[in-house]
Amino acid sequence: MSYQETMSPKERVMNALAGKLVDRTPAVNPTNVATVELMDLVDAPFPYACQDGEMAARLAATGYTELGFDSVSPYFSIIQESSALGCEMQWEEKDNWPTVRMYNPIWKSADDVKIPAGILEHRDMKAITDSIRMLKDELGDEVAIIGKTMGPWTLAYHVFGVESFLLGTVDNPDETKRALEKLKEISVLFGQAQIDAGADALTFPDHATGDLVSGEYYKEFLQDIHTEMVDALEAPLILHICGKTIDRMPYIAKTGMASFHFDSKNDPQAAMDAVNGGITLVGNINNPETLYARGPEEVRQEVYKCLEAGIQMIGPECAVPLATKIENLMEIPLAIKDWTAERHG
């Protein structure tokens, strides 16, 4: 290797999030890289690793210690807040993510939205803040700790049910906006608790995905709220939306968020063109085909394609399938290092 790494993983990630120079492109996992193999390795299986801070920290640390990523992320699912709000849960086993049972939603209208007192002490929210505190103690000087707080759109799916929430956006958009305004307080509360616990950055998933809503929907219902989050939360924010999102990227680029975590359904160069320097990008190695079903060589080709487009941080497009082979995940940082060495050679 003919180039020298001059930054710690943490410095590398924080610089990339701030749009500053880096010694090489960081390998980042804004969602998470937990797999069954890693759960077995450190004896921290689902669903317990989603309920207990110590197990969550142990499993998250493997993203750095075993896979060589520059960040760790201890929030593995998208359900911690919804569970604390009282949604009915399907906890599953170690080979499946926990989910919210959405056929029996807890709320019907914006008036129902209430944040229970002491919600941060609920087991499933405390697991995340506890894990961040432990990771901060163990790895806080070396590696970037990325927390995660759900945006109001995702929370709305869970508490109202996807169908009834989306129908409401057509029938009564003012009511939808009122609900989002109230739900965003949960995003801020949990996000700030994670920052206070030691999170260096926060992923902000808000699943206004390409297959469910249009770019104009994003502009009407979410752009302002996401812009507001930048001031409300005192850490760099990484917005995460799955699916085709090129049509909303120009709006996303105006929110002031630090980065957008994008899906492999969007070409890296087309995404760079769409945001036009307004926001950094992180992604977008394909999960179901490449990381899950192919081998290191195909992973490497996708990493190179992202690097050539100028994507600022490289990682899987979303939470990886739990049966993903770890050699495929390890290939992401390795490919970045080789590509950088060749360019400096």
Interacting stretch for Zn ion, rule CB under 5 A, among 118-126, 150-158, 193-201, 312-320? 312-320
- Pairing of β 237-240 and β 99-100: unpaired
Whole-angstrom CA distances from 56 to 111, 148, 228, 278 are 34, 13, 30, 34
Interacting stretch for Zn ion, rule CB under 5 A, among 14-22, 234-242, 265-273, 330-338? 234-242
318 makes contact with Zn ion (CB under 5 A):
yes
Q: Does the N-terminal peptide bond of residue 173 adopt cis geometry, omega within 30 degrees of 0? A: no
Angle between helices 296-309 and 268-275 (to 10 degrees): 30
317 three-state secondary structure: coil
Least distance from Zn ion to the Cβ atom of residue 134, Å: 26
Least distance from Zn ion to the Cβ atom of residue 211, Å: 12
Instruction: Closer to Zn ion by CB, 12 or 148: give it.
Output: 148
Question: Which residues are 99's β-sheet partners?
Answer: 90
Least distance from Zn ion to the Cβ atom of residue 241, Å: 7
Whole-angstrom distance, CA of residue 317 vs CA of residue 289: 12
Binding footprint of Zn ion, residue count (CB under 5 A): 2
Whole-angstrom distance, CA of residue 72 vs CA of residue 56: 11
Tokens 């120079």 map to which residue?
A: 21
Least distance from Zn ion to the Cβ atom of residue 240, Å: 6
Instruction: Closer to Zn ion by CB, 242 or 329: give it.
Output: 242
Longest dimension (CA), the chain: 62
Tokens 């940082």 map to which residue?
A: 333
Least distance from Zn ion to the Cβ atom of residue 275, Å: 18
Instruction: Closer to Zn ion by CB, 64 or 260: give it.
Output: 260
Interacting stretch for Zn ion, rule CB under 5 A, among 43-51, 72-80, 242-250, 292-300? 242-250
Q: Which residue of the chain is nearest Zn ion when measured via CB? A: 318
Between residue 172 and residue 191, which ones bind Zn ion under the rule CB under 5 A? none
Least distance from Zn ion to the Cβ atom of residue 77, Å: 12
User: Which ranges constitute the DSSP H helices of the chain?
Assistant: 9-17, 36-42, 53-65, 80-85, 123-139, 152-160, 162-171, 173-197, 215-217, 223-232, 249-252, 268-275, 292-293, 296-309, 326-344
| Structure-token pair, residue 323 | 């049966």
Interacting stretch for Zn ion, rule CB under 5 A, among 11-19, 148-156, 231-239, 313-321? 313-321
Whole-angstrom distance, CA of residue 311 vs CA of residue 333: 14
Instruction: Closer to Zn ion by CB, 113 or 237: give it.
Output: 237
Binding mask 30-69 for Zn ion (x = CB under 5 A): ----------------------------------------
Least distance from Zn ion to the Cβ atom of residue 156, Å: 16
Among 61, 222, 239, 242, binds Zn ion (CB under 5 A): 242
Least distance from Zn ion to the Cβ atom of residue 319, Å: 7
**276 secondary structure, DSSP code:** T
Amino acid at 157: Y
Least distance from Zn ion to the Cβ atom of residue 98, Å: 15
| Structure-token pair, residue 82 | 């919804």
Interacting stretch for Zn ion, rule CB under 5 A, among 2-10, 214-222, 235-243, 287-295? 235-243
Interacting stretch for Zn ion, rule CB under 5 A, among 69-77, 183-191, 249-257, 318-326? 318-326
Tokens 């105006």 map to which residue?
A: 254
Instruction: Closer to Zn ion by CB, 245 or 328: give it.
Output: 245
**Binding positions for Zn ion, rule: CB under 5 A:** 242, 318
